[in-house]
Structure 1
Amino acid sequence: MKQTTRTRAAWTAVSAVVLGIAAPFAATVPASAAAAAPASSLHWTRCAGSGLDPRQECASVEVPMDYADPGGRKIDVVMSRIPSEKPATRRGALLLIPGGPGGSSLDDPSGKGQKLPQAVRDTYDLIGFAPRGLAPSTSVSCGLDHGDLAVSKLRPWPAPDGSIALNMATARRTAAACARNGGALIRHMDTVDEARDVDRIRAALGERRLSAWGVSYGTYVGAVYSQLFPHRTDRIVLDSNDAPDRGSRGWLAAYEAGVEDTFPRFATWASAPGNPDRVARTAAEVRPLFLRLAARLDRAPIPWPGANPEELNGNVLRQTMLDSLYAPSRFPTLARLMRAALHGTVPPAPAAPPEPLQQNVTAVAAATICNDVAWPRSAAEYRRGVTESREEYPLTAGMPRNAMVCAAWPYPPEHTPVRITSHGPSNVLLVQNERDVATPLSGARKLRDALGARAVMVTVDSTGHGSYLANGNACGDRTVSRFLATGERPYEDTRCA
């Protein structure tokens, strides 16, 4: 659907060297020569939207709103599929787990699923879904003020002097709106609930075991699902990995390391001779130039009609930096904004997704993040963190340790965060770029350590968020494709240069 393509845009805004950590082949799940498509009670119909593969079909599965009350109110989770292209070699279903929270994979069987090698498309039915709370599944909205939908406000950038008073006020205002407008469902949205919904999807498909390809936040969902339902997993690919402590604000703090890992590549690109978007003569000049420009915009913002907010200030520039480091293909966006601002001008305002979509995505993200774990309430704790972060990581200016809506969230978590352990089948392959602004290598290594002998990790010498078939390299792509198609993993952790 066009809607889910915009959803992804809204939040952003994929030779081996042995490393020496042994792990066995993924042979725990018996391989069958072919698995006929199982019987299913789902009612499959043509998916709404344009530009989809004509083979893609959609259905919905009914799940409990509150798993503690399975006989109570039900909600719908909408899923999609493109069946295996070679039924004689079909193994099962491959669930495409989206990032976010707030992302959807409903269009992915028609989108990135068609980038999969033929052998993989022959092996699986490709399955996408819109997680609970996200339209066209039973949806939620917080009904936020338009100004509070600005990404530079949703990410808790402190004031230029480091003050967090406005951030705390924004947290209270947005949390109150979610409580007032979100309905009962907003209290029952977290990663554990999504993992349980995934198992309902598996059961509705009639599959004994489920393979999955999770990206970004989807790696956390995949890891939690593999921990809660290990005997129901087949081949699991976790791509661009969250640390296992994601639920304890780790996902936000990860931007400190992610920006430091990635910004030097931007600096090299932005200073290359012949680059029409060049901002400096040498890579060493780019970082201080960016910091000076952000400070100047803190003092004297430039009007930016049509944008949200309607000015280019220092935090808008910083947020643009964060968004632009997600992939080298986005580097020109930051460079062009810097070049314009240096001359006191702005480019045309970026197109925004429809506001109802922004409201829906924002509500799903806020509810999932805040329901996963209780955040501190003390402004003093955030002030200390912001002060330390600003000193150590000036590019991110304290944002990764600041207060967002969860600092005032009115509901306590319903579940204890799931501890990821080494107990379970050895059927997980992690793929991770070395330079990833959102899920840095340091966090992926923590997940790798937590999984122990259950997993093997392939580290890819590449830049960008999303490695497999996206911002990685051919070696990493071959390794993942081989695992999905045949179950063969490297014996040990490897690096793809």
Structure 2
Amino acid sequence: MRKTLLAAALAVFGTTVVAPAASAAPLDWGPCPAGAFPTPDLQCTTMKVPLDYRNPDGRTIDVAVSRLPSKNPEKRRGVLLTNPGGPGGEGLDYPQLLKLVKLPQSVLDEYDIIGFDPRGVGHSTPVTCDLTLEQMMIGNLPYANGPADVVKQAAVAKAEAKQCADAGTGPMLPYVTTANTARDMDRIRAALGESTVSYLGASYGTYLGAVYTSMFPERSDRFVLDSNLGPGGYDIDAMRNFGRGMEDRFPDFAKFAAAHPEYGLGTTPARVTAKFHELAARLDRKPVEGITGSLFRGLTFEGLYSTNLKPLAENWQALDQGRAPKTPGLTPDDSAENLFAARFAVLCGDSSWPRSVAGYQVDVAIDRIRYPLLGAATANIAACAFWPSAPVEPKVRITDRGPANVLMVQNERDPGTPLAGARKLRAAFGDRARMVTIDQGGHGAYLFGPNGCGNTTVTEFLVSGSRPAHDRYCAAENR
């Protein structure tokens, strides 16, 4: 049964009432700002949205939107909103990136592909925490070798939280949340003149899509969620689950490195694993070009996102020989500060986080044993423990209420969004969803992985609406 927006809002948020979607003026498309790579096919614009949807006539902020139009009006079905993940990641040029990685022509014909920088990010009204280069170099995963390291990190986290609150954009931070970004998406839908939207979201974008289709089920068409967070989004459980994800994925790398003795990392997976721990300890004692053991762990974790493990092996080899890796990816650029700030805003604004330093010390001790590769980092304390304000509204609950229009696609050994979290989201959706699980590693299944079974299943759903009658398992290919 269709519900009014007011009734749906009450069902999702209890007593929290938000404004209904306003009728929006048509968007005025023009050229896109310069980005990471050329966007010759994209059109861009900026629209106004309320900072606080409970006060729709109050302050507004900008949301930057892009469009890759279908060139086949006879086949065009509607619009496909997209999000590449994050939180804090820009999405304005994502439609162009999807085209570059060979989004099938049938999908490009079927939809106008829509990208956007989420509120607080990039070309949308951005937030800042005035973070220093040193703070950003610590990253999100500082490894704690013992209780004293948690206390040390607590001081860093407390300073970061205060900087965020004291920065010029501090008043924005409580409203840079997943629920408000979902409301922005519905404003984009209205401005495009569409009654419904389809969606393709990856990583954090799966949670954003899950929230949107839970808040606005009647406005949701075909939803693809690729590399799935659990139903709680990026809460403390998801952060600690990174440790599990690395344990799931690392054996693929250990096997690869052992099969390539030219890297000198060990002739068996067990010896490669031992090399990991030896290198981490050595770099803690004597960093190479500023790369500590903690940063080495983070570099390895990020390298496991890719289906191509050769660059990670080359980086290990360089560090083992006392040289800086060729592609460390560890020096923040100008956009990194905004990414960190927006990430803090969403993580701390979506969920309530534990505040006891002693509690984090216990979690670190547990996860160092449970997930020895990375657990003492992913259980460590961060800025949300000292965030100055509680979430402004309850978290959106993901349930089975709504149309059966969700297709989840998931790598079996994903380090960033492990299969365990995806299974919880699948259970929360019930019959609303089907899940395609692929026997491959890495973060990102659709298009970014070589599995034909998984890619074909997603494309067929987007183009025809055909969805598997039951959850599907795709065997490994090209291994």
What is the number of residues matched between the two proteins?
A: 450
2:266 to 280, 286, 292: 280
Q: Establish whether residue 266 from structure 1 lines up as the match of residue 245 from structure 2.
A: no
Paired residues for 1:5-44 under 5 Å: 41-44=26-29
Give the counterpart of 2:302 among 294, 318, 323.
323
- Structure 1 pair 160–271 and aligned structure 2 pair: CA distance change class (3 A): farther
**Is this contact kept in 2: 1:277–1:332, CA < 8 A?**
no
Q: Secondary structure at the match of 2:410?
A: strand
Give the aligned residue type for 2:307: P
Residue correspondence of structure 1 range 93-492 to structure 2 within 5 A: 93-114=79-100, 115-150=102-137, 152-159=138-145, 163-181=149-167, 182-273=169-260, 276-298=262-284, 300-304=285-289, 311-329=290-308, 331-347=309-325, 350=328, 355-492=333-470
Tell which has more relative contact order, 1 or 2 (C-alpha 8 A, sep 6+). Answer: 1
- How far the C-alpha of 1:117 sits from its partner, in A, is 1.1
Aligned to 2:14: none
Q: Give me the whole-angstrom Cα distance separating, in 2, the residues matched to 1:348 and 1:286.
A: 20
Say whether the 8 Å CA contact 1:81–1:128 is kept in structure 2. Answer: yes
Go from structure 1 to structure 2 and tell me whether the alpha carbon gap of 1:194 and 1:472 turns closer, same or farther (over 3 Å shift).
Answer: farther
Is this contact kept in 2: 1:244–1:450, CA < 8 A? yes
Q: Residues 366-386 of structure 1: CA distance to partner in whole angstroms, max 9, x if unpaired?
A: 111011112111101101100
How far apart, in 2, do the equivalents of 1:276 and 1:40 lie? 61
| Aligned-partner Cα distance in 1 for 2:332–2:238 | 26
Whether the 8 Å contact between 2:133 and 2:332 is mirrored in structure 1 is no
Change (3 A) 1:90 1:397: closer
In structure 2, the gaps of 5 or more residues are: 1-23
Instruction: Specify the code of the residue in structure 1 equivalent to 2:287.
Output: I
> Which TM-score applies when normalising by structure 2?
0.90
SS in 1 for 2:263: coil
Please give the per-residue CA displacement for 1:74-117, whole angstroms capped at 9, x wherever unaligned: 01101000111210111100011220001122112211135211
Q: Distance in 1 between matches of 2:117 and 2:210?
A: 19
Whole-angstrom CA distance in 2 between matches of 1:302 and 1:481: 46
Q: Secondary structure at the match of 2:67?
A: strand
For the Cα contact (< 8 Å) 1:434–1:441, is it kept in 2?
Answer: yes
Query: What is the rounded CA distance, in whole Å, between the counterparts of 2:390 and 2:38 in structure 1?
Result: 40
Name the aligned partner's letter for residue 357 of structure 1.
S
Letter in 1 for 2:74: A
The percent identity for this pair of structures is 44
Query: Alignment partner of 2:139: what SS?
Result: helix
- The question of whether the paired residues in 1 share the 8 Å contact of 2:161 and 2:383 is answered with yes
Counterparts of 2:328 and 2:279, CA distance in 1:
20
1:88 to 74, 86, 90: 74
Note if contact 1:63-1:197 (Cα within 8 Å) is conserved in structure 2.
Answer: yes
Give SS of 1:429's match.
Answer: strand
Aligned with 1:410: secondary structure? coil
Answer yes or no: is the 8 Å Cα contact 1:460–1:472 preserved in 2: no
Q: Deviations over 1:399-425 (max 9, x none)?
A: 121111111111110121111100100
In structure 1, list runs of 5 or more residues that go unmatched.
1-38, 305-310
Structure-2 separation of matches of 1:281 and 1:488: 46
State how far apart, in whole Å, the 1-side matches of 2:446 and 2:122 are.
27
The 1:296/1:350 distance shift into structure 2, 3 A limit, reads closer
| TM-aligned CA distance change 1:93 to 1:278, over 3 Å | farther
Q: Is 2:39 the counterpart of 1:60?
A: no
Q: Tell me how far apart the structure 2 counterparts of residues 109 and 219 of structure 1 sit (CA, whole Å).
A: 16
Counterpart of 1:69 (choices 55, 65, 89) is 55
CA–CA separation in structure 1 for the residues paired with 2:331 and 2:114: 25
The match for 1:49 is: 34
Query: Cα gap change, 1:448/1:349 in structure 2, threshold over 3 Å: closer, same or farther?
Result: closer
Please report how far the alpha carbon of residue 354 of structure 1 lies from its aligned counterpart in structure 2 after TM superposition. 6.2
Q: How far apart are residue 161 of structure 1 and its match?
A: 6.6
Query: RMSD over aligned Cα, in angstroms?
Result: 1.9
Q: In the aligned structure 2, how far is the partner of 1:179 from the partner of 1:347?
A: 36
Instruction: Please tell me the residue identity of whatever aligns with 1:163.
Output: D
Q: Closer, same or farther in 2 for the Cα pair 1:390/1:84, shift >3 Å?
A: same
- Structure 1 distance, partners of 2:337, 2:106, is 39
What is the TM-score of this pair, normalised by structure 1? Answer: 0.87
| In 1, Cα distance between equivalents of 2:374 and 2:159 | 24
